[in-house]
């Protein structure tokens, strides 16, 4: 019987059964692309990662990330969770594990640092693999139709709804408060129509909504919807959080900034996640985005590939 081992972790949380679950196949050698996709579909998590030996021996591993429907070039919680799992090991493909890892991914090299206590990894931090890019703006009516809201609840004081990316593209939009954010309900027809019109996203239309207060603008509550990717709602989306954080810092009037931004997500789902983002800005340009969070191990087992 051909089997392959997996572990799952809850990411961006220190409480088991909260945060965003992730399955990690820590040795995916021998799996075909089709098998990886079937495994990801079977788990039906927002993402599953498959770890392979690096193409460049200077790096730690090659990491492939699959949603239930497709492979994607980068994502936040899969990297944080995969780094946590691999960081518990003495070695990765024969190389000792230190406190820094480098993952080869389609979007580029993802640099990882591990925080340890008593010899165990307690948190991981990853650096966004690409600089901030901003795509087309999106009509308020399009956003509102996707989540069954009135267009008037969309705040455009700081920015219009827009595509943003630091490795994976998302539509981002601000709402006028937590009650409005809680009232959002994904409308599949709205997402299908939005995806048919957009041309700047490298994957199906995924929408990151957020709300914040003027008293504490760097503490943000967010929700992410991607029903076209079989993810009606995601409890924690590091790549979207990083894109939003970078974009908001780019819009701030200060030319020089080093700021910690906290994004809470998954609250409305009963899976609260806390995503920390450290953003650096120099001469008016965002130069660095680091995504960090804690993880909790949940399950381990074997996948039966054939009898």
State the CB neighbour count (10 A cutoff) for residue 100. 11
Annotated catalytic residue 140: no
- Distances in Å between the Cα of 60 and the Cα atoms of 96, 111, 253 are 9, 10, 39
Pairing between strand 257-265 and 61-66?
unpaired
Distance CA 280, CA 263 (A): 17
Give the residues across from 115 on adjacent strands.
123
> Cβ(112)–Cβ(123) under 8 Å?
no
**How many other β-carbons are positioned within 10 Å of the β-carbon of residue 3?**
11
Adjacent-strand bridge partners of 280: 258, 288
Identify the helix (H) or strand (E) that includes residue 183. Answer: helix 178-183
The single residue of 18, 35, 47, 140 carrying the catalytic annotation is 47
Q: Torsions phi, psi of 295, nearest 5?
A: -140, 155
Contacts of 10 (CB under 8 A, 6+ apart): 16, 17, 18, 19, 20, 21, 22, 295, 296, 298
Where are the extended beta strands (E) located within 67-199?
71-72, 91-92, 95-96, 100-105, 108-117, 120-127, 133-137, 154-155, 162-165, 169-175
Q: Is 203:191 a contact under the CB 8 Å cutoff? A: no
Report DSSP state, residue 217.
Answer: T
Cα separation, 86 vs 178, in Å, equals: 37
Give catalytic residues, as residue numbers. Answer: 47
């Amino acid at each position: 019987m051909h089997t392959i081992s997996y572990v799952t972790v809850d990411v961006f949380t220190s409480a088991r059964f909260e945060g965003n679950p992730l399955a990690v196949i820590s040795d995916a050698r021998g799996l075909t692309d089709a098998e990886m996709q079937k495994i990801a579909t079977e788990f039906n998590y927002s993402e599953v990662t498959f770890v392979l030996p690096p193409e460049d021996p200077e790096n730690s591993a090659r990491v492939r990330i699959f949603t239930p429907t497709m492979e994607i070039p980068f994502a936040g919680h899969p990297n944080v969770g995969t780094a946590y799992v691999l960081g518990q090991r003495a070695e990765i493909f024969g190389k000792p594990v230190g406190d820094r890892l480098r993952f080869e991914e389609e979007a580029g090299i993802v640099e990882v640092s591990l925080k340890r206590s008593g010899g165990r990894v307690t948190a991981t931090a990853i650096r966004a693999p690409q600089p901030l890019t901003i795509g087309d703006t999106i009509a308020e009516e399009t956003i509102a139709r996707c989540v069954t809201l009135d267009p008037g609840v969309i705040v455009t004081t700081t920015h219009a709804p827009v595509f943003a990316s630091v490795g994976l593209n998302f539509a981002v939009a601000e709402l006028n408060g937590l009650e409005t954010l809680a009232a959002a309900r994904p409308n599949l027809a709205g997402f299908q129509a939005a995806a048919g019109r957009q041309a700047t996203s490298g994957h199906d239309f995924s929408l990151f909504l957020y709300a914040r207060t003027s008293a504490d603008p760097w503490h943000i509550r967010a929700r992410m919807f991607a029903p076209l990717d079989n993810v009606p709602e995601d409890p924690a989306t590091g790549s979207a959080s990083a894109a939003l954080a970078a974009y908001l810092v780019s819009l701030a009037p200060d030319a020089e900034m080093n700021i910690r931004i906290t994004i809470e997500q998954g609250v409305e789902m009963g899976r609260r996640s806390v995503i920390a983002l450290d953003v650096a800005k120099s001469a008016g340009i965002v130069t660095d985005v680091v995504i960090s969070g804690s993880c909790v191990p949940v399950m381990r087992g074997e996948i039966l590939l054939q009898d």
